[in-house]
Amino acid sequence: NTSGLPYPPGPKSLPVIGNLLDVPKSESWKTYGSWGKQYGELVHFTVFGQHYIVINSMRVAVDLLEKRSKTYSDRPEIPMLEVIGWDWNTGVMPYGAAWRQRRREIHQQFRTEKALQYHPTIMKEAHQFLNKLLLTPDKFASHIRHYPGAVIMSVVYDYEVASADDHFLNIAEEAISMLSVATFPGATLVNTFPWLQYLPSWLPGMGFKQHAERCRRLTAEMKGAPLQYVRDRIASGAPTRCVATEVLSRLSDPMGQTTPEAEEVIKDVVAIAYAAGADTTVSAITTGFLAMLLYPEAKKKAQQEIDTIVGSDRLPTLHDRASLPYVEAFVWEVLRWHPVLPLSVARAAYDNDIYEGKFIPKEATILMNTWAIHHDEGMYPEPEVFKPERFLGPDGSLKDEYPMTAFGIGRRICPGRHAADASLWVAVTLVLAAFDVRKRKDESGREIDVSDEFTDSLISHPVGFVCDIQPRNPRTESIIREAVMCRE
Ligand code: HEM
């Protein structure tokens, strides 16, 4: 630090290991949030010489990530991602030409007007989702997982997934779950001491290398196989219109040929939607279910609004969205109450910087504490309570306060947010309209407790729960069946 200025305040650190012992093992966003109350909106700590800066307020997030986006749009280097073959992911790429090119293509395919074109697919898959809830309500978690995957595979590859055990989905799910290899103990050491990856795999502690090799193969198949399916369809003359065909035509020459560089971009761009959009949307929808269980009054108000405005003879559609302010506030509260990515996706400082007299060193890891921002009592009184009313004015109209921070901020804000927002709204609203999601009762008739805890991971999910899902009225079944049939 040659600036002579202090780092932002934070917990006292020890020589060499820094704050290793202070770094929380679980729900780190809560600890970082309490550090925020103790030390200030910007907190600094180190681990083995790596600097970390936590942003705990909306004001500082805007000042740094939006107003100084040139300095704060980089991502930290995570050596393990290259080892496991996940470094192609636009979401973790360093700020530079390769990222910019991929981001431009993703934006083209998921920008506001483009996302509107995906609404019929979202509705179609949502009706399938309701039908599955009707048939096997106990498998609701698996149905929630299936729905965003089916939407994305249809939008991106014009591919209809099998109702169970789909080959492409299985590969993608396994490759994504193996991403966790990047955080298991051996792997985190590689992230701290990158030279470890060059040691032979027979040495003790190097077992992760075999795991990494399998992950590399799966990831390559996840990127290659569905794209080949699209190319085969094009070659056979089958009418195909999807994100993959558009990206292929944008990046191919008039003869349909691609350069090796363009080929990489095509593969990266089409594969990112599932990798970045499936599990995130699953988490948000599951949080919606949890809110229905823990806050039955809010659920009831949303259902009353649907009954009054839409009636009970049909299912709501996205055309009804503007007429359902309470339902809208319910969905916004789902995104606020427990953000899908409580610490967003880490950034890295591209350069040394000075903010309000404090020094932020180049390459520091920047953590935007979305959870703390969404639980700022000044902005959201009683933040731990699920209360859609906070987004409504005294006359019941919606305030202009969409919790966009759930999707990040600045140049690296989520490019899939329009499609994700529509998929979430449709799933939550149609479930509210069609079903009563209630706490299950045990044999003695007592309600089974539902935990409001969430998993400790980059994408945080409610911990598992059981519930009872009943159609709201006798006509529900036939309405869902008709909706499914009319779209087949
Ligand atoms: C409810 C669902 C979703 C949530 C909550 C979510 C949230 C986020 C967040 C917080 C980030 C980090 C932004 C930042 O650094 O400021 C992000 C990045 C990203 N998201 Fe999403 N996302 C969702 C769905 C999707 C979907 C459906 C897609 C499909 C295209 C997508 C594609 C991406 C990509 C490509 C990035 C990386 C952007 C970059 O680094 O330039 N996401 N998302």
Confirm if 208 and 187 have CB atoms less than 8 A apart. Answer: yes
- Compute the distance from residue 280 Cα to the ligand 1 centre, in Å: 8
Q: Which of 119, 337, 414 to mutate to test the pocket of ligand 1 (most atoms within 8 A of CB)?
A: 414
- Compute the distance from residue 211 Cα to the ligand 1 centre, in Å: 26
Q: Which of 280, 413, 428 to mutate to test the pocket of ligand 1 (most atoms within 8 A of CB)?
A: 280
What does the pLDDT read at residue 151? Answer: 97
Measured between alpha carbons, how far is 294 from 459 in angstroms, rounded to an integer? 21
Residue 358, domain member (yes or no): yes
Residue 42, domain member (yes or no): yes
What does the pLDDT read at residue 211? Answer: 78
What confidence tier does 189 reach under pLDDT thresholds 50, 70, 90? low
Residue 27, domain member (yes or no): yes
Q: Indicate the range of 20-24, 140-144, 430-434 predicted with least confidence.
A: 20-24
What pLDDT digit, counting tens, does each position of 14-36 carry?
999 999 999 887 889 999 999 99
Q: Indicate the range of 160-174, 175-189, 418-432, 447-461 predicted with least confidence.
A: 175-189
Cβ–ligand 1 contact at 277 (below 6 Å): yes
What pLDDT digit, counting tens, does each position of 233-290 carry?
999 999 889 999 999 999 999 888 999 999 999 999 999 999 999 999 999 999 999 9
Domain that includes residue 24, residue range: 1-79+346-375
What does the pLDDT read at residue 80? Answer: 82
Residue 23, domain member (yes or no): yes
Cβ–ligand 1 contact at 366 (below 6 Å): no
CATH number of the domain to which 65 belongs: 3.30.43.20
Cβ–ligand 1 contact at 373 (below 6 Å): no
Measured between alpha carbons, how far is 396 from 47 in angstroms, rounded to an integer? 48
Count structural domains, the chain: 1
List, as residue ranges, the binding site.
414
Residue 447, domain member (yes or no): no
- Compute the distance from residue 459 Cα to the ligand 1 centre, in Å: 11
Confirm if 31 and 24 have CB atoms less than 8 A apart. Answer: yes
Supply the residue whose CA is at minimum distance from atom 2 of ligand 1: 281
Residue 350, domain member (yes or no): yes
The whole-number average pLDDT for the span 150-156 is 97
What confidence tier does 200 reach under pLDDT thresholds 50, 70, 90? confident
> How far is CA 357 from each of CA 6, 8, 61, 80, rounded to the nearest angstrom?
8, 9, 17, 35
Minimum-distance ligand 1 atom for the alpha carbon of 344:
10
Residue 31, domain member (yes or no): yes
**Which residues does 202 contact at the CB level (< 8 Å), separation at least 6?**
none
Q: State what percent of residues in the chain have pLDDT above 70.
A: 96
Minimum-distance ligand 1 atom for the alpha carbon of 284:
1
> What average pLDDT does the chain have?
93
Supply the residue whose CA is at minimum distance from atom 27 of ligand 1: 277
What does the pLDDT read at residue 177? Answer: 81
Residue 3, domain member (yes or no): yes
